[in-house]
Structure 1
């Protein structure tokens, strides 16, 4: 019996080979490529295309639709390794992880055939729109509304109206999976529903949000004014959309953790290499505990976060959505905190060099901070754990 059979956190040979192949691709591009694209206002098109051709982007999607037939463990592994090389692909979080997962689990056969092959090889990119200006973390306050235009018993159209904010990568997406609401004809109440909206649809517009973040992917405000959609733009059932939504949010948290773990690994590698080489007294600065201990502490916290991320992915791939929800939230929280702490320690290790363009550490200060507020804030994760894991009452 192998170690991987005894302990699921000892990776199989296949996963080790995948990790090595993705790491090699990441090294081919790296942080210099990433930062040059960000500064020039360009996208990571070459890396995205090559990752798609190699099967990395759709490794979690079903084989019959062009995917790799694996799971969230493998997809999070891909994003972790790319991020550890300094060239993380943010759109992996939304296109194959959220949108691909929801469509593969709840879409019709026609929808799967239409969208999944492109999501798997990267030739079709889908953004995800849930956040609204007046809703924040309260999904129950979403007011983007779809109403039927025609007889409910026929293949009617939908008219979608509303706004979304902080939606990533809309300018490089072919469509956006929008979280809206429909009116229940029996009760008159609004129920969550998911719609695929082409970015070139009449009535659909978007504008960039100025951000002090140096990343190739931009954030956008979306405006939908009676966007006409065919009846089959609805993904899944109207009355089951909340469960479908959560099926996409667990992968989102797992992938956010993977990106934070990878970023933390990148910062730690830069800092430890510098600490081994930089010498101003009798020994390299890494010999001093004031330098060594923060990095060692960060390494421990990062490894613990990674274990929780792997647990979440394994639970999700096993079909345990509730168990995966707890682990995914914990993983996202732990990875964010570990990443922020490690980036801070890395910058401090490099001293003045940590703020220079040459070493590429300063942009990570803002990038690592994102994981604490998105895709769900640290405080909402703590609320989830308090209420779901500990059974404590809600305060809101």
Structure 2
């Protein structure tokens, strides 16, 4: 069992949350996640345990069964689950994007209908924004939503690399409803769509990732969405999206930090136990120094992650910090996983040592939900005042 690791001056309540999450997921162990990932099967039992503890809804309003806490607490949850060896990718969209967006922008009826479902062990909501031809340019989405005379909407187009559609009962879909004549940019709206809606096609995209969650190409062939499934003001979707995208970056960072803690713990344990020439390999600086550097990178990333989360919770501008946290945490996780493998030598690639399978997820978060290059563009333009490059 990996010991919990707190941030300096963390409140007693947050320390208790860490311990509670760790205790809830401890019975599964890292082997459970690894076996499910290898088989491409959902981690239903682990997910149900996390829901039972109230952790998937820790950041949602208490009146709907949530914990009434903030993004900082959700980041703790994501980190501790990953630290135990079972990073749950769908937490990043289900709990960090979909729930908070509905809580913030949904009607009273939508909040009452959907938010209590975050306490149901079989319920998940995924998020559909990425398209084959739009990339990082959300203004260029081509999935169209057309309003009908009866007030309902019809969706036509496609989405790509949508995680966990097969495990989810609903998804939050971003669609284009028009173009702003003044700016030329797309007007976007958010829709809650059932994953078994007529006209919705789902094609599994095979990848080299060792993950329980699968990726899908979605086709919307005139999918009808009732008027009461529009979240927020139609045309103001971009603002609503960014209410969810900063939390996505922050919880993605927290997930990476948990991966880093997990693999670093295993690497250090191995470096202390494995002896060559009569002494533990951790004695040698060639092994010790890279592990120490990995630890430094991890702790710096964790500090930025919780700075970003605290900014978000205080309703301050968290964009810069969220991007920096995601960048730093993904870079740290890649280095930690790589060094854990290197420390183990050939054993680093053996299934029983349980480190190499996490390389793919760490690498994925270096790309998504926003690439490191787009983060560098953001920092260059908004933090340094350099000319926009794209």
Given that 1:333 and 1:378 are in contact with CA atoms closer than 8 Å, whether structure 2 keeps it comes out as yes
Q: Does 1:328 align with 2:333?
A: no
SS at structure 2 position matched to 1:95: helix
Q: Does 1:127 align with 2:133?
A: no
Given that 1:55 and 1:121 are in contact with CA atoms closer than 8 Å, whether structure 2 keeps it comes out as no
1:309 paired residue among 300, 305, 310? 305
1: CA distance, partners of 2:263 / 2:180: 54
Task: Give aligned pairs, total.
Answer: 383
Greater Cα shift, 141-150 or 180-189:
180-189
Greater Cα shift, 358-367 or 125-134:
358-367
2: CA distance, partners of 1:391 / 1:144: 33
Given that 1:26 and 1:82 are in contact with CA atoms closer than 8 Å, whether structure 2 keeps it comes out as yes
SS at structure 1 position matched to 2:206: coil
Given that 1:79 and 1:258 are in contact with CA atoms closer than 8 Å, whether structure 2 keeps it comes out as yes
SS at structure 2 position matched to 1:238: coil
* Aligned equivalent of 2:3: none
Given that 1:61 and 1:120 are in contact with CA atoms closer than 8 Å, whether structure 2 keeps it comes out as no
* Aligned equivalent of 1:222: 218
* Aligned equivalent of 1:136: 135
For 1:234-292, what per-residue CA distance to the aligned partner results, in whole angstroms no more than 9, with x for missing partners? 10012321111100000000011011000011110000000000111232110100000
* Aligned equivalent of 1:3: none
* Aligned equivalent of 2:259: 263
Given that 2:139 and 2:185 are in contact with CA atoms closer than 8 Å, whether structure 1 keeps it comes out as no
* Aligned equivalent of 2:159: 164
Shift of 1:186: 8.5
Runs of 5+ consecutive residues of structure 2 not aligned to the other structure: 1-6
1:186-265, aligned counterparts within 5 Å? 190-265=186-261
Aligned CA distance change for structure 1 residues 344 and 275 (closer, same or farther; 3 Å): same
* Aligned equivalent of 2:269: 273
For 1:89-114, what per-residue CA distance to the aligned partner results, in whole angstroms no more than 9, with x for missing partners? 11110111100010001000000011
2: CA distance, partners of 1:22 / 1:177: 27
1: CA distance, partners of 2:386 / 2:249: 22
2: CA distance, partners of 1:267 / 1:372: 17
Shift of 1:206: 0.7
For 1:340-395, what per-residue CA distance to the aligned partner results, in whole angstroms no more than 9, with x for missing partners? 01111110000010011110222122222112101110000101111111121112
Q: Does 1:176 align with 2:167?
A: no
* Aligned equivalent of 2:61: 62
Q: Does 1:341 align with 2:325?
A: no
2: CA distance, partners of 1:165 / 1:79: 24
Given that 2:263 and 2:337 are in contact with CA atoms closer than 8 Å, whether structure 1 keeps it comes out as yes
Calculate the aligned-residue CA RMSD, in Å.
1.5
Q: Does 1:118 align with 2:117?
A: yes
* Aligned equivalent of 1:94: 93
1:19-98, aligned counterparts within 5 Å? 19-98=18-97
Greater Cα shift, 58-67 or 38-47:
38-47
* Aligned equivalent of 1:106: 105
Shift of 1:121: 4.1
2:364 paired residue among 362, 370, 374? 370
Shift of 1:40: 2.4
* Aligned equivalent of 1:287: 283
TM-score by length of 1: 0.94
Aligned CA distance change for structure 1 residues 371 and 377 (closer, same or farther; 3 Å): same
For 1:300-328, what per-residue CA distance to the aligned partner results, in whole angstroms no more than 9, with x for missing partners? 110000000001110111111x2x11111
